[in-house]
Amino acid sequence: MTAPTSPWRHAANGVLLTAILAVAALVLHTTPSREVQQSAIVVPGVVGEPTSGRNIRATVHSVSVAESVTAGNGWAGSTPGVWVVVDLTVQALVVDEKTALGTAVLRVGDVSFRASIRPQNGTVAENRLATGVPLSGPLMFEVPTDIVARTAAKTATLEFATDSDPRVDSLLVVPVDLTALVVQPDLEVAFPEWGAR
Amino acid sequence: MTNRGVRGSRRQRARLLFDRLPTKWLITSVSAVLLALSAVVGGLDDAPVVPVPVIEAGDSHAGTELTIVVNGALLIDAFPEQSIVPDEGNRLLVVRATVENTTAEPRRLADGSTADTDSIGIAGIPGLADGEPPERILVIDDGSDRAVVQPGVPVELAYLWEVAGDAVGEGDPVTVNLMDRDFISEGRLTYGGLYGAPLVSATLELALGDVGAGANE
């Protein structure tokens, strides 16, 4: 015959069980969602200063808005909206194999725009990057005319990453105020070239 | 007492009868009842198919993601400036459409090389499978391909199919189908939405024009 279990033992078991349940609940309710687990690692930046992530360094030199843009290759596509033109220097830092400027996004509130590839080789969008050799050139974003005057355009952001899917890698985020810019009728931009500005 | 006794015996009798009922009869009768009930919602008739709306050229059709206006369809020999030259004896069938993206993010349109957002398909062309994706999609303004429609910015596009030169001619009818994506759900193991086969959300009939070599366009 075993000795009867002491009431303290019972109480201790109860406390232990409650503690295990509490820890389990804590783990269950604080586990990051899949979106958080896979989200991009945001590197904030400012216009005019270089911003560096894992494998990308970019500098936004200037942002302008124009009704019509002529690229360095002679391209002058028209749009029913306006062009937001970004002068950018970008390079890879670690590896340049399969590395391109895959993400170049202008985000205004909930709406996002991808840098246009209509100018073909007149833009640095989707261009291959080189490790340690900066590439400078324009990005053209085709946006509706009214978007640059929206309240959200005050806190618009430019986002850059080396892959079209920027999850679990550095995402450079540079805030820009589009409402402060004057819409120019014409804008001529240079052909993309290797070298810093 | 007697009443209760009679009721009891009746219940017992019913119970006995039920016990003797063959299971097959039971299943058959339940099925028959279900079948009879189904008559309320149309019985064994085919479910009614909602006809695809037929629109006219120039009509604007709003899909879930894209608003499309089809402007016309024509035949042309080639686009040498874009290095798009069909094989010997073939010609290009071009559908012109203005596409506006009504979502909040850019949409890459699906041509023969990618499986992105479907927008326009054609049917009724001999030698071309119905629903065959366009070989190329060009932005008419500057001739660039790999068409991406930015939110809120309508763009006029040329959808290109290569067809046999003698398969179609000027004035022949072509059916243009406006496609819509069939969103199933957010992926559980994969990231992003899962989509089913594209649906035809509207259709229109066009007569083909012919611009020959297209030099005067």
**Residue B217 has what pLDDT?**
44
For chain A, 197 residues long, give each residue's pLDDT as a single digit of tens.
Answer: 577 888 899 999 999 999 999 999 999 999 998 888 899 999 999 999 999 999 999 999 999 999 999 999 999 989 999 999 999 999 999 999 999 999 999 999 999 999 999 999 999 999 999 999 999 999 999 999 999 889 999 999 999 999 999 999 999 999 999 999 999 999 999 999 999 88
Q: Where are the domains of chain A?
A: 1-31, 40-194
**Residue B202 has what pLDDT?**
93
Residue B4: pLDDT above 60? no
**Residue B181 has what pLDDT?**
87
CATH 2.60.40.1240 fits A40-194, yes or no: yes
Residue B182: pLDDT above 90? no
DSSP chain A: -PPPPPHHHHHHHHHHHHHHHHHHHHHHHHSPPHHHHH--EEEE--TTS-EE-SS-EEEEEEEEEEEEEE-TTS-----SSEEEEEEEEEEBSS--TT-B--EEEEEETTEEEEPP-TTGGGS-TT-B-BBTB-EEEEEEEEE-GGGGGSGGGGGEEEEEESSSS-TTSEEEEEEE-GGGS-EEEEEE-PPPEES--
Residue B6: pLDDT above 60? no
pLDDT tens readout for residues B94-138: 999 999 999 999 999 988 777 788 899 999 888 888 878 899 999
Q: Where are the domains of chain B?
A: 2-41, 60-210
**Residue B118 has what pLDDT?**
86
Q: Determine contact: B148 vs chain A, CB below 8 A.
A: yes
Residue B1: pLDDT above 50? no
Q: How far apart are CA B179 and CA A107, in angstroms?
A: 28
pLDDT tens readout for residues B36-73: 998 888 888 888 888 889 998 899 999 999 999 999 99
* Chain B environment of A119 (Cβ under 8 Å): 144
Contact call for A114 and B141, based on CB within 8 A:
no
* C-beta of residue A176 within 8 angstroms of C-beta of residue A63: yes
Contact call for A111 and B151, based on CB within 8 A:
yes
**Residue B216 has what pLDDT?**
46
Architecture (CATH level 2) of domain B60-210: Sandwich (2.60)
Q: Determine contact: B189 vs chain A, CB below 8 A.
A: no
Nearest-by-Cβ selection for A81 from B106, B146, B153: B153
Kindly indicate the confidence band of residue B83, based on its pLDDT and cuts at 50, 70 and 90.
Answer: confident
